[in-house]
Structure 1
Amino acid sequence: MKEYIRKEMLGKLRDLPAQDRIRMEKELTKAVCSSQEWKASKTIGVTWSNFPEIDTHTIIKNGLEEGKRMVVPYSGKNRVMTFHEYSPDIAMAKSKFGIMEPVDKSNPVPPGEIDLLLVPGLAFSETGFRIGFGGGYYDRYLAAYNGHTLSVLFPFQLFKNPHWEIEAFDVPIQKLLLATI
């Protein structure tokens, strides 16, 4: 079921008309950057997005402009994810998953230093459970993370009655920000 939903959501994300995508991404960026969680955070973890994901580049740029410490993930061995400080001058390279990640992984930021984590996903229940991209990296990371979690999504990514199984290791996202149609 999860694989079917992943495929369906990726198709919907790819097929979303550009003008709708741009409008909703601007709305979501504004919602994130004006949220209480954002305002209260000094260090924010966020994935460097890749199409067809919801764009996070402006969120990262806004954070840096506001003097926030922005950290991006690295997908390590044994499905262990670490976060590393981002600045426009650090070297980034494509991972085996096609995701841009920091080249220098020598100084991971401990989870306890990350105040807010923007968690990507493809489908979400109203209670914050999600279907990610299938690697399990965020599920493992969230199991030991105690800060705030937030996800941004387009309306079609929200499932009122999810048809997928919530598993024991699934950790719900604390706050969902939903774009308007």
Structure 2
Amino acid sequence: MKEQIRKEMLGRLRDLPSQNRIRMEQELTTAVCSSEAWHDAKTIGVTWSNFPEIDTHKIIQKGLEEGKRMVVPYSGKNRIMTFHEYLPDTAMARSRFGIMEPVDKRNPVPSEEIDLLLVPGLAFSETGYRIGFGGGYYDRYLAAYNGRTLSVLFPFQLFKDPHWEIEAFDVPVQKLLTTAF
């Protein structure tokens, strides 16, 4: 079931008309950067997005402009994810999963230093449970993470009544931000 929903959501994300995408991404960026969680956070973890995901580059840029410490994930061995500080001159390379990650994996930022984590996903229940991209990296990370969590999503990614099984290792996201379609 999850694999079917992943496939459907990726298709819907790819097929979203660009004018709708641009407008909604701008609204979501504004919503994130004006949220209480954002204002309270000194260090923010966020994935460097790839199309057709919701664009996070403007969120990262806004954080840097505001003097926030922005950290991006690296997908390591045994499905262990670590976060590393991102600056405009940080060398990034495409991982085996096709996502941009920091080249320098020394000095990971401890999870207790990350105040806010923007959690990616493809589908979300109203209670914050999500279907990710299938690697389990975020589920493992969230199991030991104690900071605030937030996800941004388009309206069609939100399910009132999830059609998938919530598993014991699933950790719900605390706050979901979406926009009108």
* 1:29 aligned partner, one-letter code: T
Deviating above 6 A after TM superposition, structure 1's stretches of 4 or more consecutive aligned residues are none
Superposed displacement of residue 115, structure 1 = 0.0
What secondary structure is seen at the aligned counterpart in 1 of 2:25?
helix
1:53-106 deviations in whole A, cap 9, x for unaligned? 000000000000000000000000000000000001010000000000000001
Query: 1:72 is matched with which residue?
Result: 72
**SS in structure 2 of the partner of residue 164 of structure 1:** coil
Q: What's 2:95 paired with?
A: 95
Partner residue in 2 for 1:26: 26
> Tell me, which stretches of 5 or more residues in structure 1 are unaligned?
none
- Give the corresponding residue for 1:117: 117
| Coordinate RMSD, CA, aligned | 0.3
The C-alpha deviation readout for 1:5-59, integer Å capped at 9, x for no partner, is 0000000000000000000000000000000000000000000000000000000
Letter in 1 for 2:52: P
Cα displacement string for residues 146-174 of structure 1 (whole angstroms, at most 9, x for unaligned residues): 00000000000000011100000000000
Shift, 1:180, TM fit: 1.0
Please show how residues 161-172 of structure 1 align to structure 2 within 5 Å: 161-172=161-172
Structure 2: give runs of 5+ residues left out of the alignment: none
- Find the aligned partners of 2:6 and 2:89 in 1 and give their Cα distance: 34
- In structure 2, what is the equivalent of residue 42 of structure 1? 42
